[in-house]
Amino acid sequence: MTATHTDKPAIVIARAIFPEVVEQLQQYFVVESNQANESWSGTEFVKRLRGKHGALTTGEQRIDAEVLAACPDLKICANMAVGHDNFDLPAMTAAGVLATNAPDVLTETTADGGFALLMAAARRISEGEHFLRAGKWREWSYDMLLGQDVHGTTLGIVGMGRIGQAIARRGARGFGMTVLYHNRSRLSAGKEQDAGGARYVRLDELLRRADHVVLVAPLTPQTRHLIGAAELALMKPTATLVNIGRGGVVDDAALAAALQAGQIAAAGLDVFEGEPSVHPALLRCSNVVLTPHIASASAPTRLAMARLAADNLIDYLTRGTARTPLNPELLA
Protein backbone atom coordinates (compact mmCIF):
# COMPACT_ATOMS: atom_id res chain seq x y z
CA MET A 1 0.00 0.00 0.00
CA THR A 2 1.35 3.42 -0.88
CA ALA A 3 1.64 5.74 2.10
CA THR A 4 -0.61 8.76 1.87
CA HIS A 5 0.89 12.21 2.40
CA THR A 6 -0.21 12.32 6.02
CA ASP A 7 1.22 8.85 6.83
CA LYS A 8 4.69 10.13 6.17
CA PRO A 9 6.93 11.12 9.05
CA ALA A 10 7.95 14.80 9.09
CA ILE A 11 11.53 16.00 8.96
CA VAL A 12 13.40 19.26 8.80
CA ILE A 13 16.61 19.87 6.84
CA ALA A 14 18.48 22.63 8.67
CA ARG A 15 20.54 23.93 5.75
CA ALA A 16 20.47 23.93 1.96
CA ILE A 17 21.76 20.61 0.62
CA PHE A 18 21.99 18.93 -2.80
CA PRO A 19 18.52 19.18 -4.46
CA GLU A 20 18.63 15.50 -5.44
CA VAL A 21 18.98 14.55 -1.76
CA VAL A 22 16.01 16.77 -0.81
CA GLU A 23 14.03 14.99 -3.57
CA GLN A 24 15.09 11.58 -2.23
CA LEU A 25 13.92 12.54 1.26
CA GLN A 26 10.60 13.86 -0.10
CA GLN A 27 9.79 10.33 -1.31
CA TYR A 28 9.67 9.18 2.32
CA PHE A 29 8.90 12.24 4.40
CA VAL A 30 7.02 15.48 4.63
CA VAL A 31 10.05 17.74 4.34
CA GLU A 32 10.59 21.25 5.60
CA SER A 33 13.82 22.32 3.96
CA ASN A 34 15.98 25.41 4.13
CA GLN A 35 17.06 25.62 0.50
CA ALA A 36 17.33 29.41 0.96
CA ASN A 37 20.20 28.50 3.34
CA GLU A 38 19.11 30.99 5.99
CA SER A 39 21.12 31.06 9.22
CA TRP A 40 18.34 30.02 11.61
CA SER A 41 18.86 31.10 15.22
CA GLY A 42 18.60 28.40 17.90
CA THR A 43 15.04 29.54 18.65
CA GLU A 44 14.08 29.53 15.00
CA PHE A 45 15.50 26.03 14.56
CA VAL A 46 13.56 24.71 17.57
CA LYS A 47 10.38 26.26 16.13
CA ARG A 48 10.98 24.34 12.87
CA LEU A 49 11.97 21.15 14.71
CA ARG A 50 8.85 21.02 16.87
CA GLY A 51 6.47 18.33 15.62
CA LYS A 52 9.17 16.75 13.41
CA HIS A 53 10.31 13.13 13.72
CA GLY A 54 13.73 13.67 12.22
CA ALA A 55 16.28 16.35 11.41
CA LEU A 56 19.17 16.55 8.98
CA THR A 57 21.68 18.76 10.80
CA THR A 58 25.05 20.11 9.75
CA GLY A 59 27.01 20.38 12.97
CA GLU A 60 25.85 23.95 13.60
CA GLN A 61 22.56 23.09 15.29
CA ARG A 62 22.86 22.39 19.00
CA ILE A 63 20.76 19.44 20.20
CA ASP A 64 20.63 19.40 24.00
CA ALA A 65 18.19 18.64 26.82
CA GLU A 66 16.36 21.94 26.38
CA VAL A 67 15.84 21.42 22.64
CA LEU A 68 14.80 17.82 23.22
CA ALA A 69 12.26 18.82 25.88
CA ALA A 70 10.72 21.27 23.39
CA CYS A 71 10.53 18.61 20.64
CA PRO A 72 8.96 15.45 22.10
CA ASP A 73 8.14 13.96 18.67
CA LEU A 74 11.80 13.88 17.62
CA LYS A 75 13.30 10.42 17.01
CA ILE A 76 16.54 11.02 15.09
CA CYS A 77 19.06 13.74 14.24
CA ALA A 78 21.39 12.88 11.37
CA ASN A 79 24.51 15.06 11.20
CA MET A 80 26.00 15.68 7.78
CA ALA A 81 29.42 15.79 9.49
CA VAL A 82 31.69 13.29 11.16
CA GLY A 83 32.15 15.64 14.15
CA HIS A 84 29.22 15.78 16.55
CA ASP A 85 30.13 18.24 19.28
CA ASN A 86 26.76 19.91 18.52
CA PHE A 87 25.03 16.83 20.00
CA ASP A 88 24.62 16.27 23.73
CA LEU A 89 24.72 12.51 23.30
CA PRO A 90 23.75 11.50 26.87
CA ALA A 91 20.75 13.86 26.70
CA MET A 92 19.75 12.46 23.30
CA THR A 93 20.03 8.89 24.53
CA ALA A 94 18.03 9.72 27.66
CA ALA A 95 15.32 11.25 25.45
CA GLY A 96 15.37 8.20 23.14
CA VAL A 97 16.60 10.25 20.15
CA LEU A 98 19.02 8.50 17.82
CA ALA A 99 22.11 10.44 16.76
CA THR A 100 24.02 9.61 13.59
CA ASN A 101 27.09 11.18 11.96
CA ALA A 102 28.80 10.86 8.57
CA PRO A 103 32.12 9.05 9.03
CA ASP A 104 34.28 7.15 6.49
CA VAL A 105 32.92 8.78 3.32
CA LEU A 106 34.99 11.91 4.03
CA THR A 107 38.20 10.36 5.38
CA GLU A 108 40.47 10.55 2.34
CA THR A 109 39.15 13.92 1.11
CA THR A 110 39.62 15.50 4.53
CA ALA A 111 43.13 14.08 4.76
CA ASP A 112 43.87 15.63 1.34
CA GLY A 113 42.54 18.94 2.67
CA GLY A 114 44.75 18.74 5.75
CA PHE A 115 47.79 17.93 3.67
CA ALA A 116 47.03 20.83 1.31
CA LEU A 117 46.99 23.21 4.29
CA LEU A 118 50.24 21.75 5.58
CA MET A 119 51.94 22.22 2.22
CA ALA A 120 50.52 25.72 1.79
CA ALA A 121 51.63 26.83 5.26
CA ALA A 122 55.11 25.26 5.17
CA ARG A 123 55.86 26.49 1.64
CA ARG A 124 54.16 29.88 2.08
CA ILE A 125 51.87 29.38 -0.89
CA SER A 126 49.17 31.87 0.19
CA GLU A 127 51.73 34.49 1.15
CA GLY A 128 53.38 34.04 -2.24
CA GLU A 129 50.10 34.50 -4.07
CA HIS A 130 49.22 37.64 -2.12
CA PHE A 131 52.71 39.01 -2.77
CA LEU A 132 52.39 38.39 -6.51
CA ARG A 133 48.83 39.77 -6.79
CA ALA A 134 49.92 42.90 -4.91
CA GLY A 135 52.47 43.55 -7.67
CA LYS A 136 55.43 43.11 -5.29
CA TRP A 137 57.28 40.51 -7.42
CA ARG A 138 59.74 42.69 -9.25
CA GLU A 139 63.01 40.75 -9.18
CA TRP A 140 64.64 37.42 -8.37
CA SER A 141 65.90 37.15 -4.83
CA TYR A 142 67.67 34.19 -3.18
CA ASP A 143 65.68 34.58 0.02
CA MET A 144 62.27 35.41 -1.39
CA LEU A 145 59.57 33.62 0.64
CA LEU A 146 61.79 30.86 2.00
CA GLY A 147 59.72 28.18 3.68
CA GLN A 148 60.33 24.82 5.30
CA ASP A 149 60.64 21.37 3.74
CA VAL A 150 57.89 18.86 4.18
CA HIS A 151 59.52 15.76 2.64
CA GLY A 152 61.81 13.81 4.93
CA THR A 153 60.75 15.71 8.07
CA THR A 154 58.88 14.63 11.21
CA LEU A 155 55.10 14.80 11.16
CA GLY A 156 53.20 14.90 14.46
CA ILE A 157 49.52 14.00 14.39
CA VAL A 158 47.25 14.75 17.33
CA GLY A 159 44.04 12.71 17.09
CA MET A 160 44.78 9.41 15.35
CA GLY A 161 41.34 8.34 14.19
CA ARG A 162 40.52 7.48 10.60
CA ILE A 163 41.49 10.90 9.22
CA GLY A 164 44.68 11.10 11.30
CA GLN A 165 45.74 7.69 9.99
CA ALA A 166 45.03 8.78 6.40
CA ILE A 167 47.27 11.83 6.90
CA ALA A 168 49.97 9.60 8.38
CA ARG A 169 49.88 7.36 5.29
CA ARG A 170 50.28 10.38 3.02
CA GLY A 171 53.19 11.72 5.06
CA ALA A 172 55.05 8.44 5.37
CA ARG A 173 54.46 6.96 1.91
CA GLY A 174 54.31 10.10 -0.20
CA PHE A 175 56.81 12.34 1.56
CA GLY A 176 59.12 9.95 3.43
CA MET A 177 58.17 11.52 6.76
CA THR A 178 58.72 10.04 10.20
CA VAL A 179 55.31 9.95 11.88
CA LEU A 180 54.66 10.53 15.58
CA TYR A 181 51.15 10.60 17.00
CA HIS A 182 49.27 11.33 20.16
CA ASN A 183 45.79 10.01 20.80
CA ARG A 184 43.43 9.14 23.66
CA SER A 185 44.60 5.55 23.26
CA ARG A 186 47.40 3.81 21.47
CA LEU A 187 46.62 2.09 18.15
CA SER A 188 47.23 -1.62 17.62
CA ALA A 189 50.64 -2.53 16.22
CA GLY A 190 48.96 -3.43 12.90
CA LYS A 191 47.28 -0.04 12.61
CA GLU A 192 50.52 1.76 13.51
CA GLN A 193 52.22 -0.18 10.75
CA ASP A 194 49.51 0.74 8.23
CA ALA A 195 49.84 4.38 9.32
CA GLY A 196 53.39 4.54 8.02
CA GLY A 197 55.01 3.02 11.11
CA ALA A 198 53.59 5.81 13.29
CA ARG A 199 55.01 5.97 16.84
CA TYR A 200 52.86 6.82 19.86
CA VAL A 201 54.35 9.57 22.05
CA ARG A 202 53.22 11.98 24.75
CA LEU A 203 51.86 15.32 23.56
CA ASP A 204 54.80 17.33 24.90
CA GLU A 205 57.29 15.04 23.15
CA LEU A 206 55.36 15.30 19.89
CA LEU A 207 55.29 19.10 20.06
CA ARG A 208 59.03 19.27 20.78
CA ARG A 209 60.07 16.84 18.05
CA ALA A 210 57.67 17.43 15.15
CA ASP A 211 58.51 19.72 12.26
CA HIS A 212 54.85 19.82 11.29
CA VAL A 213 51.92 19.25 13.63
CA VAL A 214 48.46 18.37 12.34
CA LEU A 215 45.49 18.45 14.73
CA VAL A 216 42.58 16.17 13.90
CA ALA A 217 41.08 15.89 17.38
CA PRO A 218 37.36 16.35 18.05
CA LEU A 219 36.25 19.07 20.46
CA THR A 220 35.45 17.63 23.88
CA PRO A 221 35.87 19.01 27.41
CA GLN A 222 39.27 17.22 27.42
CA THR A 223 40.51 18.74 24.15
CA ARG A 224 39.34 22.36 24.64
CA HIS A 225 42.47 24.55 24.34
CA LEU A 226 44.66 21.45 24.17
CA ILE A 227 47.07 23.71 22.28
CA GLY A 228 47.58 27.01 24.10
CA ALA A 229 50.51 29.29 24.88
CA ALA A 230 52.39 26.67 26.94
CA GLU A 231 52.12 24.02 24.23
CA LEU A 232 53.04 26.43 21.41
CA ALA A 233 56.15 27.35 23.41
CA LEU A 234 57.33 23.73 23.13
CA MET A 235 57.26 23.77 19.32
CA LYS A 236 60.24 24.49 17.06
CA PRO A 237 60.52 28.03 15.66
CA THR A 238 60.52 26.45 12.19
CA ALA A 239 57.41 24.34 12.88
CA THR A 240 53.98 24.58 11.28
CA LEU A 241 50.66 23.87 12.99
CA VAL A 242 47.59 22.74 11.07
CA ASN A 243 44.11 22.42 12.59
CA ILE A 244 41.43 20.51 10.69
CA GLY A 245 39.82 19.02 13.82
CA ARG A 246 37.58 21.54 15.52
CA GLY A 247 37.81 25.15 16.53
CA GLY A 248 38.39 25.42 20.25
CA VAL A 249 41.05 22.68 20.30
CA VAL A 250 43.49 25.54 19.72
CA ASP A 251 43.47 28.77 21.73
CA ASP A 252 43.29 31.05 18.66
CA ALA A 253 44.44 34.18 20.54
CA ALA A 254 47.53 32.34 21.82
CA LEU A 255 48.23 30.99 18.34
CA ALA A 256 48.04 34.47 16.79
CA ALA A 257 50.48 35.75 19.43
CA ALA A 258 52.89 32.85 18.71
CA LEU A 259 52.70 33.48 14.95
CA GLN A 260 53.29 37.21 15.39
CA ALA A 261 56.24 36.61 17.69
CA GLY A 262 57.79 34.04 15.32
CA GLN A 263 57.56 31.41 18.03
CA ILE A 264 56.41 29.02 15.29
CA ALA A 265 56.87 29.57 11.56
CA ALA A 266 53.38 29.16 10.14
CA ALA A 267 49.92 27.72 10.57
CA GLY A 268 47.08 26.41 8.44
CA LEU A 269 43.59 26.60 9.90
CA ASP A 270 40.31 25.27 8.55
CA VAL A 271 38.38 25.47 11.85
CA PHE A 272 38.07 28.30 14.37
CA GLU A 273 36.75 29.14 17.80
CA GLY A 274 33.31 30.71 17.26
CA GLU A 275 33.36 30.21 13.46
CA PRO A 276 32.31 31.63 11.06
CA SER A 277 33.92 34.48 13.04
CA VAL A 278 37.71 34.40 12.97
CA HIS A 279 39.88 35.96 15.68
CA PRO A 280 40.90 39.39 14.31
CA ALA A 281 44.53 38.86 15.36
CA LEU A 282 44.72 35.80 13.08
CA LEU A 283 43.42 37.87 10.17
CA ARG A 284 46.38 40.21 10.68
CA CYS A 285 49.01 37.41 10.52
CA SER A 286 50.54 36.83 7.09
CA ASN A 287 52.04 33.48 8.11
CA VAL A 288 48.73 31.67 8.51
CA VAL A 289 46.66 30.07 5.75
CA LEU A 290 42.95 30.41 6.54
CA THR A 291 40.18 28.37 4.91
CA PRO A 292 36.44 28.39 5.77
CA HIS A 293 35.93 24.83 7.11
CA ILE A 294 36.25 23.15 3.71
CA ALA A 295 38.58 20.21 4.38
CA SER A 296 35.84 17.74 3.37
CA ALA A 297 34.51 19.96 0.59
CA SER A 298 35.05 18.03 -2.62
CA ALA A 299 31.93 17.66 -4.75
CA PRO A 300 31.73 13.84 -4.54
CA THR A 301 32.47 13.76 -0.80
CA ARG A 302 29.93 16.39 0.21
CA LEU A 303 27.31 14.52 -1.84
CA ALA A 304 28.26 11.23 -0.17
CA MET A 305 27.96 12.89 3.27
CA ALA A 306 24.49 14.23 2.44
CA ARG A 307 23.40 10.85 1.09
CA LEU A 308 24.66 9.07 4.21
CA ALA A 309 22.74 11.46 6.49
CA ALA A 310 19.62 10.97 4.34
CA ASP A 311 20.01 7.17 4.37
CA ASN A 312 20.25 7.23 8.16
CA LEU A 313 16.97 9.17 8.35
CA ILE A 314 15.24 6.88 5.86
CA ASP A 315 16.52 3.64 7.43
CA TYR A 316 15.62 4.67 10.96
CA LEU A 317 12.24 6.24 10.39
CA THR A 318 11.05 3.53 7.97
CA ARG A 319 12.53 0.38 9.51
CA GLY A 320 14.32 1.16 12.77
CA THR A 321 17.90 0.61 11.57
CA ALA A 322 20.75 3.07 11.00
CA ARG A 323 24.08 2.97 9.16
CA THR A 324 26.26 5.09 11.44
CA PRO A 325 24.61 5.43 14.85
CA LEU A 326 26.39 7.27 17.67
CA ASN A 327 24.10 5.87 20.38
CA PRO A 328 23.47 2.37 18.97
CA GLU A 329 22.04 1.23 22.28
CA LEU A 330 18.77 2.79 21.07
CA LEU A 331 18.64 0.29 18.20
CA ALA A 332 18.46 -2.77 20.43
Binding-site ranges for ligand GLV (CB under 6 A): 59, 81-83, 106, 296
Cβ–Cβ under 8 Å, residues 220 and 85: yes
Judged by DSSP in three states, 65 sits in: helix
Separation of alpha carbons 267 and 269, rounded Å: 6
Distance CA 25, CA 46 (A): 20
Nearer to ligand GLV, 22 or 106 (CB): 106
Q: Taking the complex as a whole, how short is the minimal distance between the CB of residue 100 and ligand GLV, in angstroms?
A: 12
Could you tell me the smallest distance in angstroms from the CB atom of residue 209 to ligand GLV? 27
- CB of 297 vs ligand GLV, minimal distance in Å: 9
- Give yes or no: 184 in active site: no
Taking the C-alpha atoms of residue 110 and residue 246, their distance in angstroms, rounded to an integer, is 13
Catalytic residue among 84, 209, 246, 279: 246
CB of 244 to ligand GLV, least distance (A): 8
Integer CA distances (angstroms), 328 to 12, 55, 83, 101, 316, in order:
22, 17, 17, 12, 11
* Residues with Cβ within 8 Å of residue 240, at least 6 apart in sequence: 118, 121, 122, 148, 211, 212, 213, 264, 265, 266, 267, 268
Is residue 246 annotated as a catalytic residue, yes or no?
A: yes
Side by side, the strands of the sheet bearing 288-290 are 199-200, 178-182, 154-158, 212-215, 240-243, 266-269, 288-290
Specify the residue, 10 or 297, whose C-beta has the smaller distance to ligand GLV. Answer: 297
Shortest Cβ 60–ligand GLV spacing (Å): 11
> Which residue among the candidates 124, 170, 293, 302 is catalytic per the annotation?
293
Contact 54, 29 (CB under 8 A): yes
CB of 82 to ligand GLV, least distance (A): 4
Q: Is the peptide bond before 276 cis (omega within 30 degrees of 0)?
A: yes
For residues 115 and 287, what is the distance between their CA atoms, to the nearest angstrom? 17
Q: Active site includes 192?
A: no
Q: In one letter, which amino acid is 168?
A: A
Q: Which is nearer to ligand GLV, 59 or 114 (CB)?
A: 59
Catalytic residue among 32, 60, 205, 275: 275
Name the residue nearer to ligand GLV (CB basis): 156 or 161: 161
Read off the amino acid at residue 192.
E
Of the pair 53, 84, the CB lying nearest ligand GLV is at 84
9 or 268: whose CB is closer to ligand GLV?
268
Q: Which residue is nearest to ligand GLV (CB)?
A: 83
Active site residues: 246, 275, 293
